Amino acid sequence: MTIRLNQNQELSLKERFLNLNFLFIAIIIILAYIGCLTLYSVAGAQLFPWAANQAARFGIGLIIMFSAALIQPEIYYKIATPFYIFTLILLVIVDAVGHIGMGAQRWINLGFFNLQPSELMKIAVVLQLSKYFSTVPLESIKSIKGIIIPIILVAVPVVFIMIQPDLGTSLMILFCAVAMFYLAGVQWWKFALAIGSAIASAPLLWHFLHDYQKNRILTFLDPEKDPLNTGYNIIQAKIALGSGGLWCKGFLSGTQSHLRFLPESHTDFIFATFSEEFGMIGGSLVLFLNLILITYGYWFAFRIHHNNYFGKMVILGLNTNYFLYIFINIAMVTGLLPVVGIPLPLISYGGTVILSVMTSFGIMLSFYANRDRELKQ
Amino acid sequence: MKKSNHKLRYLLKRSLIMFSINILLLFILVGRLYFLQIYQGEKYALLADNNRMSRRLTAPPRGTINDRNGVELAVNIQNFQAMLIPEQSRNIDKLLADLSSLLNLDETEIERIKKDISRHQRFVPVKIKDNLSWEEVAQLMIHNNLYPGLIIDEGLIRSYPFKQYTAHPLGYVGSVSEADLKVSDSPLLQVPGFKIGKSGFEKTYDEMLRGDAGRQVYEINAYGRIMREIEKKDGVKGTDLDLTIDIRLQKAAYDAFGNEAGAAVVLDVHTGEILAFVSVPSFDPNLFVDGISINNWQALINDEKTPMTDKAIAGQYSPGSTFKIVVALAALEAGVITPKSTSYCSGKMKLGNHLFHCWRHNGHGHLNVVEAIKHSCDIFFYETALKLGIEKIAAMSHKLGLGQMYNIGLENQKQGVIPDKQWKQEKLKQPWQKGETVIAGIGQGYVLVTPLQLVTMLARVVNGGYEVTPTFIKNDTPPQPKKLDIREENLAIVKQGMFEVVNGVGGTATRARLKLKDIKMGGKTGTTQVRRISLKERAQGIRRDEDLPWKWRNHAWFMAYAPHDNPKYAVAVIVEHGRSGSGVAAPIASKILEQAIKLDIR
């Protein structure tokens, strides 16, 4: 840690690098390593088709993270609005293409990654909301009039993602936005009112859900009702998890995934695969490592310069986003939440999530590296 | 600045609350893991095992059925099947085309195979052909590398090496039917390809022959593919069944019939052991093991010689003159005749306004009981039966084992009929007529017996009056038969009559004497009318039995025992529509006894 006399002086590249939190980065690498190990096991002790690919993607993810971390934080403030608008346009394009006739395609192929605009939107909404809340006074945030603009900022992308249809991602953005509204100082009663009216309009909303979405929710409520179709995932995931016991069946010996009883064993349900082989000890370890990451997130937000409200808001927003990934995925796999198609970041196979969470970590680290100075506006 | 501090305080305070909520939620997940993995862990471990383990029963080898000398009559032979694992084959159409010429598969079989392939997952083996011959196996082995995915599977199949010789009484096995599943809940019946006894001893002793199932436990994946074998336990072979029959005698008895239809049963007169038991013609039980074809089945059931009927126990025939032995013995025992008393046969006898004829139109003149048996005089036995009354005839019949079923382990046994007054009243609701006693005296009318009953009767007469019962199952310590309440002198007298039939000058079956030095047999002929020649037919010139179609001709009986001095074997032979007991049935019985004596069965 470098001690500087003039706290507002910009740091050199080397200083910024040395200012990064390497324990935080180490935990990210450990989690990615656990992911690769599990993918190696699922493939029947083979690097291909998943583990090697995933490792390569994670390598690229690391590069992206370091790049994002070494950028001056002012850049994020500046690009927040253009980035938000750009992502919104991508989202509209993907939606339009999907509707015109290529099926429900949600991504743009970038070679190594499939870029999902909805994934980028998670970051864009956080940046844009943070920018908005950092520029308006508390009184405005507490007034009804003052939250109309941020509500629109959130509602537009959420609606576009929901019609893709991608219920999971749109809900994640919604929850993340709610958390940020709360952090910014919106009063409790407004949330209570919103939740109350949401519950009141739930039957109406139910009407607009797709059949498969209705099915997922019904199946969640009673998986045994339909054991061969939608309920199968949940039942098999529970069997995989439950049979793991305290210690484990041992690496490479999970029968549920190896014998392919567990569908999506390398993507959304990878936590069940992992916990079958490594037991409750392993599962708890993954949860614990993630808890450390999230705690670091809060620590970063607390630690950076007290005048950097934008930075604090961005860190907390991205951190909440990461938390939601972890919580929703594991709650879904363990049968506490309906199956919504949220992967377990750093561990599930797939490039999109790596791109999005590694960028997020990079942005968080960028603010942290410049923690002792104000944001130049 | 102050305002901004206020905003920051909100942020810090609320982020602390958020952090707490995050920790709380993560701990809920840990709790959930505890609940699923520790609290309910065993339940899910069991479910995981149920997912991956496939338990399969394997059929045990069936117990063999042996003759009295240990010759195997029903065995399990190796059966080679060609199977195809579709996913391992590069070009199924070409493979099937090649195989169709190599294994002689016709169009319908190729269609069946293609259907099977499309119906199952690609890794499930599909049966190409069953019961491969050695040449076929060799051909496939040679071309093994040309046909990936083709495997030769080895199994056991029931086989009856003596084919038609043992079809009755062994029966056969066949596939488990829906009806079988309703009767039994044995898990063995669910084993694919398992065969159970469908008739004969195979059916009666099925549970004993079956044995205990083997067990295989496999690990399977979600699609049912077998990944590896976890456990294998071989089944326990069923218990063998040792019969009393001697297959050499069985074959000789069967072959003695030539083209005739009928049945023969040979007993050991002292133990009641059944030494040969044939019903001719018979069928090849091997045809049934894999399901008989419609053509073969039609041929069997449309055959007028009824190969599927076991005539030895299910054929009921009038005993005809063989019954005279029973009548003579009853009369001697009752004292209505003595060895010396005679009757006069003029060729006819009048009772009321009905005239009864002797088979010999001119009559036999004066004769005693031995001579009456020797010549099979009808008038003598008409009169004797009249003096005796039907009740005493019936009592002696029952004593000698007629009119009853025996526990020999075979279904479809018939009881026969030994009529008496009560029987007729119950059955026909009519009083008994004297004339019916008269014709019962020569074994006609209501009286019906099976070959098995008749040979049992003969055995009891010639073994010195011991109540032997026929048995099929070899028993090292046979139960000592109880002595019947019949005087030995009387038994000797009827035996003498039977000796004269074969050996006396003018006996009815002298041509059937044994072609053996020093060993004589005794016996009795019988001919029973199936249908009277009608007046119309007489007008058309049909006078003799031979002129009638086969199915209307008379049945021919001969029962015999040997050696006469110390009887050991008794045989009863029925030749359906054989016309003449002495001309057709007696030579067959004689051949069988000769063979038995030559074999010196112990």
Q: CB under 8 Å to B257, separation ≥6 — which residues?
A: B264, B278, B280, B575, B588
**Can you give the pLDDT at residue A227?**
55
**More confident of the two residues A111 and A74:** A74
Chain A residues within an 8 Å CB radius of B30: 284, 287
Verify whether residue B582 is a known catalytic residue: no
Q: Kindly report the nearest CA distance between residue A281 and chain B, in angstroms.
A: 9
**Contact status, residue B369 vs residue B352, Cβ threshold 8 Å:** no
Closest in B6, B33, B44 to A283, CB measured: B33
Out of A246, A287, A291, whose CB is closest to B37?
A246
Share in percent of chain B as helix, strand, coil (round to 5): 45, 20, 35
Task: Please compute the mean of the pLDDT values over residues B436-455 and round it to a whole number.
Answer: 93
Residues of A in contact with B6 (CB under 8 A): 138
| A183–B18 C-beta distance less than 8 A | yes
The residue type found at A351 is G
What is the rounded CA–CA span in Å between residue B506 and residue B365? Answer: 14
Min Cα–Cα distance to chain A from B122, Å: 17
- Would you say B442 and B325 are in contact if contact means Cβ atoms under 8 Å apart? no
A315-333: pLDDT as tens digits: 999 999 999 999 999 998 8
Per-residue pLDDT at B221: 75
> Closest Cα to residue B118, out of B143, B96, B101?
B96
pLDDT, tens only, B204-238: 999 999 988 888 888 777 776 777 777 888 888 99
The whole-angstrom separation of Cα B494 and Cα B187 is 57
Which of A241, A302, A322 to mutate to test binding with chain B, by most B CBs within 10 Å of its CB? A241
pLDDT in tens, B539-561: 776 666 667 787 788 889 999 99
Identify the residue with better confidence: B113 or A229.
Answer: B113
Interchain contact, B51 vs A239, CB within 8 Å? yes
Q: How far is CA B20 from the centre of its chain?
A: 84
Tell me what pLDDT residue B213 has. 83
- Higher-pLDDT residue of A204 and A302 is A302
Q: What number of other Cβ atoms are within 10 A of residue A174's Cβ?
A: 18
Q: Do A291 and B26 touch (CB under 8 A)?
A: yes
Distances (CA, A) of A9 to A12, A314, A374, A375: 10, 22, 9, 10
A135 to chain B: nearest residue by CA?
A: B4
> Does the pLDDT value for residue B174 go beyond 80?
yes
Select from A238, A260, A312 the Cβ nearest to the Cβ of B222: A260
Proportion of chain A above pLDDT 70, given as a percent: 88
Q: Which of B463, B569, B465 is nearest to B516 (CA)?
A: B569
Query: What's the gap in Å between the CA of B120 and the closest CA on chain A?
Result: 19
Q: For residue A355, which of A175, A95, A110, A162 has the smallest C-alpha distance?
A: A110
- Pick the residue from chain A with its C-alpha nearest to B27: A287
Residue of B279, B321, B397, B590 marked active site: B321
Place B535 in a pLDDT band, splitting at 50, 70 and 90: low
Q: Please report how the helices B390-399 and B421-428 are oriented relative to each other, as an axis angle in degrees rounded to 10.
A: 100
Q: Which of A90, A25, A85 is nearest to A58 (CA)?
A: A25
* pLDDT value at residue B211: 87
CA distances from A19 to A70, A312, B88 (A): 10, 17, 60
Strand B354-357 with B555-562, pairing: unpaired
- Position A101 scores a pLDDT of 47
Where are the domains positioned within chain A? 13-369
For the residues B527-535, what does the mean pLDDT come to?
73
Which positions ≥6 away from A216 have C-beta within 8 Å?
Answer: A230, A338, A339, A340
Whether residue B354 is predicted with pLDDT greater than 60 in this model: the reply is: yes
**pLDDT attached to residue B601:** 83
Task: Tell me the chain B residues in contact with residue A283 when contact means C-beta distances shorter than 8 Å.
Answer: 33, 37
pLDDT in tens, B97-109: 888 888 888 888 8
Point out the residue among B6, B30, B48 whose CB comes nearest to the CB of A256: B48
Best of B1, B29, B35, B39 to mutate (most A CBs within 10 Å, chain A): B29
Distance of alpha carbon B508 from alpha carbon B506, whole angstroms: 6
Residue A94: what pLDDT? 83
Identify which of B33, B37, B52 has the shortest CB distance to residue A255. Answer: B52
Distance from CA of B2 to the nearest CA of A (A): 11
Tell me: the pLDDT tens digits for B302-328?
Answer: 988 999 999 999 999 999 999 999 999
In a mutational test of the A interface, the residue from B14, B40, B44, B54 whose CB has the highest number of chain A CBs within 10 Å is: B44
A287 vs B44: CB contact, 8 Å cut-off?
A: no
pLDDT in tens, A142-193: 888 888 999 999 999 998 888 777 778 888 999 999 999 999 989 889 989 9
Q: Contact at 8 Å (CB) between A278 and A251?
A: yes
How far does B116 lie from chain A, in Å, by closest CA?
Answer: 25
- Residue B173's pLDDT band (cuts 50, 70, 90): very high
* Best residue in A180, A183, A243, A290 for a mutation probing chain B (most B CBs within 10 Å): A243
CB contact under 8 A, A330 and B3: no
Residues 195-224 of B with CB under 8 A from A: 219-223
User: Under an 8 A CB cutoff, do A287 and B26 touch?
Assistant: yes
Region A114-125: what's the mean pLDDT?
87
Q: Scanning the structure block, which residue is given the tokens 């629109």?
A: A152
Q: Which residue in the set A183, A260, A291 is minimally distant from B14, CB to CB? A: A183
Cβ <8 Å between A283 and B19: no
- Confidence grade of residue B460 (pLDDT, cut at 50, 70, 90): very high
The mean per-residue pLDDT over the stretch B514-534 comes to 83
Whole-number pLDDT of residue A229: 57
Q: Region A253-262: what's the mean pLDDT?
A: 74
Q: Are B444 and B529 in contact (CB under 8 A)?
A: yes
How many angstroms separate the CA of residue B26 from the nearest CA in chain A? Answer: 7
Partnered with residue B220 across adjacent β-strands are B226
Dihedrals phi, psi of B233, to nearest 5 degrees: -130, 120
- Chain B positions touching A309 (Cβ under 8 A) are 4, 7-8, 11
- Is residue B77 within 8 Å of residue B140, measured between CB atoms? no
pLDDT of residue B415: 93
Q: Yes or no: say if B323 and B447 are a contact pair by the CB < 8 Å rule.
A: yes
pLDDT above 70 for A98: no
Average pLDDT value for chain B: 88
Q: Do A259 and B38 touch (CB under 8 A)?
A: no
Q: Which residues of A touch B1 (CB under 8 A)?
A: none
Min Cα–Cα distance to chain A from B219, Å: 9
Contact across the interface for A138 and B3, Cβ inside 8 Å: yes
Helix (H, G, I), strand (E, B) or coil at B218: strand
pLDDT in tens, B19-58: 999 999 999 999 999 998 888 888 888 888 877 777 777 7
Q: Is the pLDDT of residue A222 over 70?
A: no
* pLDDT average, residue stretch B385-403: 94
- Chain-centroid distance of CA B601 in Å reads 23
Q: Can you spell out the DSSP letters for B441-506?
A: TTT-TT-BB-HHHHHHHHHHHHTTSB----B-B--SSPPPPPBPS--HHHHHHHHHHHHHHHHSTT
Burial level of B272, CB count in 10 A (0-12/13-18/19+)?
buried
Q: Is the pLDDT of residue B437 over 50?
A: yes
What is the pLDDT, as a whole number, of residue A106? 65
pLDDT tens figures, B140-166: 888 777 777 787 877 788 999 999 999
Mode of pairing for the β-strands spanning B65-66 and B241-242 = parallel
Bridge partners, B557 (sequence order): B526, B574
**B362 part of contact set with chain A, CB < 8 Å:** no
Q: What is the pLDDT of residue A1?
A: 44
Most confident of A44-58, A59-73, B230-244: A59-73
Please indicate whether, in this complex, the C-beta atoms of B51 and A182 are within 8 angstroms of each other: no
Q: Distance (Å) from the C-alpha of residue B36 to the closest C-alpha of chain A?
A: 5
pLDDT at B289 over 60: yes
Does B543 contact chain A (CB < 8 Å)?
no
CB interface of B with A, residues 16-35, below 8 Å:
18-19, 22-23, 25-26, 28-30, 32-34
Q: Name chain A contacts of B15, Cβ cutoff 8 Å.
A: 183, 298, 301-302, 312, 316
